[in-house]
Amino acid sequence: MKISIFGTGYVGLVTGACLANLGHNVLCIDIDENKIIQLKNGVVPFYEPGLKELITKNMGRNRLFFSTDCQEGANFGEVIFNCVGTPSKEDGSAKLDYVFNVAKDVARYSQGYKLLINKSTVPPGTARKCQKTIIEINPNSEVEVASNPEFLKEGNAVHDFTHPDKIIIGVKSDKSAEIIKQVYAGLMRPYLKFLVTNWETSEMSKYANNSFLATKISFINEIANICDLVGADIKEVSQAIGMDYRISPKFLNAGTGYGGSCFPKDIKAICATAKEQGYRSKLLEEVHQLNERQKLVLLPKINFVYPDLKEKKLAIWGLSFKPKTDDIRDSCSLSVIKELLKSGAKINVYDPEAIDNIKEIFGEQINYFNSPEAAAKGTDGIILVTEWDEFRNINLKGIGETMLAKKMFDGRNIYNPNYLREIGFEYFGVGRK
């Protein structure tokens, strides 16, 4: 099939590359000229495991193309995926201008029947508004709108796309459902769950999915904070409740809170949508507030050890919002660094992928290192913010010997407190001693 993709962010590029790899002819459109020039040269503007290889391979096979020409994009595909950004507005609601701009371009420039599939995360009601906009712009347009939310995790997006748990589509007609089935024919397996529903239900499913996961994280963080007070161990509490098949062990890792491009933005957006309808979602508002507080959960522990942080130097391990990505959007490292700078501490940082992004924000205010060992040397403690695998089996005994004071503030509970104490560290986790 011929498929156009509008938007070459995480979602658009992963979708484009993976669909090309399934044998479709894919044209990716972005209004950012520099990005398109980079992509044409095989340069991927962010770090996502496996994506560069997939792009290079499919460009080589003449199945994946890039352009800035929206008219060309509107004409090329029988199916057009709308994967443009939906950033937060000041009131937390989703800014939908880019989504509607694509709908307008497709209405203006395309000929004959086309299926415009919204993959960007958009509030319930958006597909309906897109369809209305298309008819307003071009009353003869044969463009039909559908919704097909993505459930990709950054750092695992290529695998998630090619091995989905489920495909949810919101459609107006059987014809559009059949076309989407053809798009995904290469992924179809007897066990793959495929739900066909209406526009609003499909759009809402995405928000409900992310809201549930974010709530699960804020819940376990809340329990961890209570564990801290009563001397219980959150890792074992998580294990215990995860044994209940109704709860499941996933997304029960307590720590310094969630970040990223999705959970924070989507929770705020669904709260704003509810508010527009005259309903206040107290639960989801609180999930967001708890998470903001949780990002700084290590600070009182650091202040307990060092009431005065002036003249103290601390190493931060991990800056991205989670491992296997260079994305620092809403990462708790940002909150921690800002607070520590306010208290006058000197900060050394290390991350395998996100250093360049952090440099853009903090410039010369902090010190950058290209190994965890170098960042920790001569410091008064290590703050582990992101649980990259390379931190798990690191030689802490050796590193401890190069530090001024052996303190470990483990924001993701990855270390064994007993072992750390054995090798002379003072250990602080989240919800465990």
- The answer to whether the CB of 96 falls within 8 A of the CB of 23 is no
* Least distance between ligand UDX and beta carbon 319 (Å): 12
End-to-end CA distance of the chain: 57
* Least distance between ligand UDX and beta carbon 412 (Å): 7
* Least distance between ligand UDX and beta carbon 163 (Å): 13
- The answer to whether the CB of 199 falls within 8 A of the CB of 53 is no
* Least distance between ligand UDX and beta carbon 384 (Å): 12
Residue 262 annotated in active site = yes
- 3-class DSSP state for residue 404? coil
Instruction: Give the Cα separation of 149 and 147 in Å (integer).
Output: 6
* Least distance between ligand UDX and beta carbon 124 (Å): 17
Residues 6 or more apart whose Cβ sits within 8 Å of residue 319: 328, 331, 333, 349, 350, 351, 354, 355, 357, 358, 385, 386
User: Residue 19 or 70: which CB sits closer to ligand UDX?
Assistant: 19
The contact set with ligand UDX (CB under 6 A) reads 150-154, 210, 213, 217, 251-253, 255, 258-260, 262-263, 321-322
* Least distance between ligand UDX and beta carbon 35 (Å): 20
User: Residue 210 or 348: which CB sits closer to ligand UDX?
Assistant: 210
How much of the chain is helix, strand and coil, in % rounded to 5?
Answer: 45, 15, 40
For helices 10-21 and 51-60, the axis angle rounded to 10 degrees is 50
Residue given tokens 């001024």 in the structure block: 404
What radius of gyration, in Å, describes the C-alpha atoms of the chain?
A: 24
DSSP state string for 31-98: S-HHHHHHHHTT--SS--TTHHHHHHHHHHTT-EEEES-HHHHHHH-SEEEE-----B-TTSPBP-HH
User: Residue 263 or 409: which CB sits closer to ligand UDX?
Assistant: 263
Can you list the pairs that 359-363 forms with residues at least 24 positions away whose Cβ atoms lie under 8 Å?
A: 361/328, 361/334, 362/337
User: Residue 273 or 379: which CB sits closer to ligand UDX?
Assistant: 273
User: Residue 306 or 317: which CB sits closer to ligand UDX?
Assistant: 317
User: Residue 58 or 256: which CB sits closer to ligand UDX?
Assistant: 256
> Beta-carbon neighbour count of residue 303 at 10 Å?
13
> Among 70, 262, 271, 332, which one carries the catalytic annotation?
262
For helices 263-276 and 282-294, the axis angle rounded to 10 degrees is 150
- Annotated catalytic residues are 262
